[in-house]
Amino acid sequence: MTDIQPVSGSGRLPLRGQASTLTSLARQALTEDFGLRPLPAEAESVLDDLPASPRLIAHLRAVHDVACQLADWVAQHHPSVPFDRTAVLFGAATHDIGKVLHPEELSGPGSAHEPAGHELLRSRGVPEHLARFARTHASWNSSGIVLEDLLVSLADKVWKAKRVPDLEQLVTGLLATGAGEEPWEVFMALDDELDRIASGADARLAVQSSYPIMA
Ligand SMILES: [Fe+2]
């Protein structure tokens, strides 16, 4: 990954040749090349039509970038384990979108954004298999959770170097079962990768905190 740079200078050209609901700073958070991968076009399109906070968009960029790294690692180290990479990346890029409706949860605890985000995405025509991450990203022990959900949840933790043993064990279990490998072997390699990703947390946190909650 290239160096991550906090906010400065101007962003890329507007996404489309029409008015956006975003403020200029929120648009900058969405389009600036500060060393984090751009969001999937479909996620950019949804965000471009909402009054999303610059801080929220920067957070989605950070978690999406980490989800890309996790998806690459799974594909490389466990090629026999199928997963929907597109869904993981869209899910990471939109998981907290419900905070547009619950901005108090940008700076404080709360889970009202989870069902609200799911409903918001569904109301915008996003299919369930892509919208579900808005309501599942903090519910890794619930029934019906699959590898894609866990990878978004994991990205939403390790982006800031937060390690969550029970979540990591669930990921390890699914990968070990799917690949026919020993869980301890899978976890040793995953642990190394999570340490590597966590080492970039300070730079991601600097980018996120350089964008204001309100603008
Ligand atoms: Fe998040």
Write out pLDDT tens, residues 39-81: 999 999 999 999 999 999 999 999 999 999 999 999 999 999 9
Does 35 reside within a domain?
yes
pLDDT at 1: 44
pLDDT of 16 strictly over 60: no
Q: Which domain holds residue 86?
A: 24-210
Does 5 reside within a domain?
no
Please give the share of the chain, as a percent, with pLDDT higher than 90: 87
**Tens-digit pLDDT profile for residues 104-142:** 999 999 999 999 999 999 999 999 999 999 999 999 999
pLDDT of 17 strictly over 90: no
Q: What's the 182 CA to ligand 1 centre distance in angstroms? A: 31
Q: What's the 54 CA to ligand 1 centre distance in angstroms? A: 14
Q: What's the 181 CA to ligand 1 centre distance in angstroms? A: 31
Q: What's the 150 CA to ligand 1 centre distance in angstroms? A: 13
Q: What's the 188 CA to ligand 1 centre distance in angstroms? A: 26
Q: What's the 152 CA to ligand 1 centre distance in angstroms? A: 9
Does 146 reside within a domain?
yes
pLDDT at 11: 36
Does 17 reside within a domain?
no
pLDDT at 125: 96
The CATH code of the domain that includes 30 is: 1.10.3210
pTM, rounded to two decimals: 0.92
Does 123 reside within a domain?
yes
**Tens-digit pLDDT profile for residues 80-110:** 999 999 999 999 999 999 999 999 999 999 9
Record the tokens describing residue 87, joined without a space.
Answer: 């869904």
Q: What's the 215 CA to ligand 1 centre distance in angstroms? A: 19
Quick check: 62 and 200 in contact, CB under 8 A? Answer: no
Ion ligand 1: residues, Cβ under 5 Å: 96, 156
Quick check: 150 and 171 in contact, CB under 8 A? Answer: yes
What average pLDDT is seen over the chain? Answer: 92
Q: What's the 178 CA to ligand 1 centre distance in angstroms? A: 27
Rounded Cα distance between 181 and 196, Å, is: 22
Domain count, the chain: 1
Q: What's the 132 CA to ligand 1 centre distance in angstroms? A: 14
pLDDT at 24: 92
How far is residue 205 from each of residues 7, 56, 185, measured CA to CA in Å?
12, 12, 31
pLDDT of 188 strictly over 60: yes
Residues 6+ apart with CB under 8 A from 189: 77
Task: Give the residue carrying structure tokens 């699914």.
Answer: 174
pLDDT at 10: 36
Does 4 reside within a domain?
no
Mean pLDDT to the nearest integer, 3-9: 55
Does 99 reside within a domain?
yes
Does 8 reside within a domain?
no
3-state SS assignment for residue 213: coil
Q: What's the 137 CA to ligand 1 centre distance in angstroms? A: 8
Q: What's the 180 CA to ligand 1 centre distance in angstroms? A: 31
Q: What's the 77 CA to ligand 1 centre distance in angstroms? A: 26
